[in-house]
Structure 1
Amino acid sequence: MVNIIFTILTNSMAAYVITRYRLKNKFFNMMYYYFISAMFIPFNVIMLPLVKEVSAFYMDNILGITFLYIVFGLPQSIFLYSGFVKGIPTALEEAAIMDGAKPYQVFFKVIFPLMKPMHATVAILSFMWTWNDFLMPLVLLSDPHQQTLQLAQYVFQGQFSTQYNLAFASYVLVLLPVLLMYVFFQKYIIAGVTSGSVK
């Protein structure tokens, strides 16, 4: 939940600034392509150096991995938010500025509420990714007491036998939240992705 809240707040702000200024400033244009290029780098490539850095900064815990989920979700979120922000007329921001609104007021009172479909899309995709992720917690979390549900399921597999009855029961329990969330919010995912991809 913390991951979703901070992802929506930070990533939407970053995407808004980059999208609005990338045509006026080369730095923001470079930042846009820098973040988008990170989508093409698989986690396996950076896994070993990341483990060393995380251990050096004592981030091998739940707070550290939550921060990493927010950072690693930034490229996809910027890509989605950027396509959505392009469809918001700049006249709305100009009108708010003429009424005396500060830059942060323009974002939080005008732009942020208009992003609701994209907020829902980013929240659902972020939840599904972090909930189902197995590899990152496996290599980064050092404390067995902080392991995620996906790691906890690994105990049903032993060296010589596997408790399939308990394993599959746990799989169903872990699958249910994601399945229910997707069923109830499917229209928001489709609407958000399509509106952000055709601009």
Structure 2
Amino acid sequence: MAAGKKTNWSGTAALIAASSIIFFPLYLTVVIALKSRDQLGESILSWPNPIVWENFSKAIEITNYWGAFFNSFLITTGAVILTVFTNSFVAYAIARNMKKRSFQSLYYYFISAMFIPFPIIMLPIVKLTSQLGISNQVGLVILYTVYGLAFNVFLYVGYIASLPEELEEAARVDGCGPWQTFWKIIFPLLRPINATVAIFTVLWTWNDFMLPLVILAEPEMATLPLKQFALQGQFNTDYTLAFASYLLAMLPLLLVYIVAQRWIISGVTRGAVKG
């Protein structure tokens, strides 16, 4: 330890406490997923002996894991692609015209949508999607794109405002229109915030239970959260299989986050600063 520097014990204690809050539920999930039903009667904190790896294969079979995984992957991928391309362009139009009252009003209109609880609009949305014939994966992708617009516009506008407008002026001098300017000049500069929005969309879409529950009309369209719900009965729940399925559903998200975490910090930091 360098001379003259004191250990920040309060900060260290806070860091340990925060780490424990995150680690303890994860540890319980892993332990329960590796136990047999008989071992659950023992101490819940004890490590399983023997380890029951069969829980994962049974969970895969009962939940039709690969079919549900494909549905979740299809919906999440579609939502991420459509969200990034459409939300960024909407935010760009607002960010570069914030001096106009109409665009200011539009910006605050989108922001206000973040404070509307989903149950208030749930029944009208279910009826509308049914009438339009989009009670399927396509309808879910559209809904995730629209519902994410409010928060994503908030992030994008702050980030785009930090980009120098001289870049666009130079593009206009070279003969580029607004569409070419955005896709050739601005969009490549949005990589950090695009990654941030993409990660938030992945986490929300992959883990969401309510929208697929009320929108999807056919059982074969079910996503992973819906299939996992089948493991929870009214009078009995097989916790070992349920927690094994939770781990199986969590692993893809963990890999995505590990790969893209550096973009999240960069995107949120720059998105909070307006130039």
Q: Fold match, TM over 0.5? A: yes
Tell me the TM-score normalised to structure 1 length.
0.95
Instruction: Report whether the alignment pairs 1:8 with 2:84.
Output: yes
Aligned partner of 2:118 among 43, 48, 62: 43
Residue 186 of structure 2 is matched in structure 1 by: 111
Letter in 1 for 2:212: P
For 1:37 and 1:132, how far apart are their aligned partners in 2?
Answer: 24
For 1:40 and 1:158, how far apart are their aligned partners in 2?
Answer: 33
Instruction: Report whether the alignment pairs 1:20 with 2:119.
Output: no
Can you list the C-alpha shifts for 1:95-152, whole angstroms capped at 9, x where unaligned? 1110111221111110000111011001111111100101111111121110111101
What count of residue pairs does the alignment treat as equivalent? 198
**Is the 2:162–2:273 contact (alpha carbons within 8 Å) kept by the matching residues of 1?**
no
Aligned partner of 2:152 among 59, 62, 77: 77
Residue 89 of structure 1 is matched in structure 2 by: 164
Q: 4+ runs of 1 displaced by more than 6 Å?
A: none
SS in 2 for 1:184: helix
For 1:188 and 1:88, how far apart are their aligned partners in 2?
Answer: 17
Q: Give the 5 Å matches for 1:130-145.
A: 130-145=205-220
Percent identical pairs in the alignment equals 53
In structure 1, runs of 5+ residues without a counterpart are none
In structure 2, runs of 5+ residues without a counterpart are 1-76
For 2:174 and 2:157, how far apart are their aligned partners in 1?
Answer: 26
Tell me the TM-score normalised to structure 2 length.
0.70
Residue 232 of structure 2 is matched in structure 1 by: 157
For 1:184 and 1:62, how far apart are their aligned partners in 2?
Answer: 26
Which structure has the larger Rg?
Answer: 2
Residue 143 of structure 2 is matched in structure 1 by: 68
Letter in 1 for 2:105: M
Letter in 2 for 1:14: V
- RMSD, aligned α-carbons: 1.1
Determine which structure has the larger helix proportion and give its number.
1
